[in-house]
Amino acid sequence: MKHAIFLLLFDPACILLLIASWACVPSRSEIVNLESSNIDDILSNADVALVNFYADWCRFSQMLHPIFTEASNIIKEEYSEKNNVVFARVDCDQYSDIAQRYRISKYPTLKLFRNGMMMKREYRGQRSVTAIVDFIRQQKSNPIRDILDLEELKTVDRSKRNIIGFFENKDSDNYRTFEKVANILHDDCVFLAAVGDVSKPERFSGDNVIYRPLGENAPDMVYLGSLTNFDLAYAWTQDKCVPLVREITFENGEELTEEGLPFLILFHMKDDSESLEKFQQEVARQLIGEKGTINFLHADCDKFRHPLLHIQKTPADCPVIAIDSFKHMYVFSDFNDLSIPGKLKQFVQDLHSGKLHREFHHGPDPTDVAPGQETGDLASSPPESSFQKLAPSEYRYTILKRDRDEL
């Protein structure tokens, strides 16, 4: 027996065998391989999941693998299993159905999921262990600020959208639903909660949630649905937190471009709230049915001087309305024409029908030309897309080439 133990401890062949067996034992930080058969179950049971959509032949994917694994190791050490953070990956060549389901257009793509729901904002930060770990730490931080005195609500930042909940206690289905919604939408709204005796004056009819919109004089709006129905609570909160007309910045430009929808964009001076308000009103009045076919945006004229120069405009010309189809840019006739019923809607419809593109190549349609005027002299020359340059860089991703019809 002693000889057997001696051989086991000192025989090189045995030592190698032991090392190999240890290497085969799954560690707590093992990256989960998602397949068609397990993806729904794994993601739906994860509080937070970061999924790497990759292809083995993609050099950027190859570079990310060890970084992703090391970040997973650190997070697994920091968070216990009850916090349920999952690092997972999908081989998009092997599971093309999953790649299509999540609209993967580049490798590697890192998407964030919460309780099975894919977040609109994917990870676009640095591909370093530190950056990825910090990103997950932020996702695990509490998205709700505790209100310790109702007097604090008088000084909330009215330049931001606020969702405020009043609860008897945190150990309740009502609060858990509120927390789940806050985890998903905390980038779009500020979430606050008063709990226990502090909230009692606001709970005369039970737990409740309100929306405090932008503007000092804007009245609060009360959520009237079930506080335990996540789908209803999420839909109501999303409607309040995500505006119909969003601001485009250099920070979110890649994200908005990758949504694949053309832009209807108002260029205005930062302090020109009147033009923005008028644009928002007309978009809501004329184009609410176009939501999902075009992105309604506004941009700071000073920050986006280059796109303005692209359409032969300067900040002095603002406010200016334009469409960027990701192939060409088209300018709306005159900002003051917003007040003409249906004018903005027709501009968007001309994009969808191909009229804007057709007139780019052949001049105005015959019905749009004044009697005696030659169409050949009126062919427009819209510049190429400017915002397409904000799309994901080929120096960071392997871009999947997809032929797209002219928008």
Q: Which CATH number fits domain 245-399: 1.10.4160.10, 3.20.20.80, 3.40.30.10, 3.30.420.40?
A: 3.40.30.10
- pLDDT tier for residue 392 given thresholds of 50, 70 and 90: confident
pLDDT at res. 381:
58
Q: Is the pLDDT of residue 403 over 60?
A: no
pLDDT at res. 175:
98
Q: Which CATH number fits domain 22-140: 3.40.50.10800, 3.40.50.10190, 3.40.50.300, 3.40.30.10?
A: 3.40.30.10
Q: Is the pLDDT of residue 20 over 90?
A: no
CATH of domain 144-241: 3.40.30.10
Residue of higher predicted confidence among 181 and 292: 181
- pLDDT tier for residue 361 given thresholds of 50, 70 and 90: low
Which whole number is the average pLDDT over 380-406?
71
Residue of higher predicted confidence among 403 and 67: 67
pLDDT at res. 176:
96
- pTM as predicted: 0.74
SS3 string of the chain?
A: CHHHHHHHHHCHHHHHHHHHHHHHCCCCCCCEECCCCCHHHHHHCCCEEEEEEECCCCHHHHHHHHHHHHHHHHHHHHCCHHHCEEEEEEECCCCHHHHHHCCCCEECEEEEEECCEECCCCECCCCCHHHHHHHHHHHHCCCEEECCCHHHHHHCCCCCCEEEEEECCCCCHHHHHHHHHHHHHCCCCEEEEEEHHHHHHHCECECEEEEECCCCCCCCEECCCCCCCHHHHHHHHHHHHCCCEEECCCCCHHHHHHCCCCEEEEEECCCCHHHHHHHHHHHHHHCHHHECCEEEEEEECCCCHHHHHHCCCCHHHCCEEEEECCCEEEECCCHHHHHCCCHHHHHHHHHHHCHHHHHHHHCCCHHHCCCCCCHHHHCCCCCECCHHHHCCCCCCCEECCCCCCCC
pLDDT at res. 400:
85
Q: Is the pLDDT of residue 349 over 80?
A: yes
Every domain of the chain with CATH number 3.40.30.10 lies at 22-140, 144-241, 245-399
Q: Is the pLDDT of residue 405 over 70?
A: no
pLDDT tens across 207-226, in order? 999 999 988 888 999 999 99
pLDDT at res. 123:
93
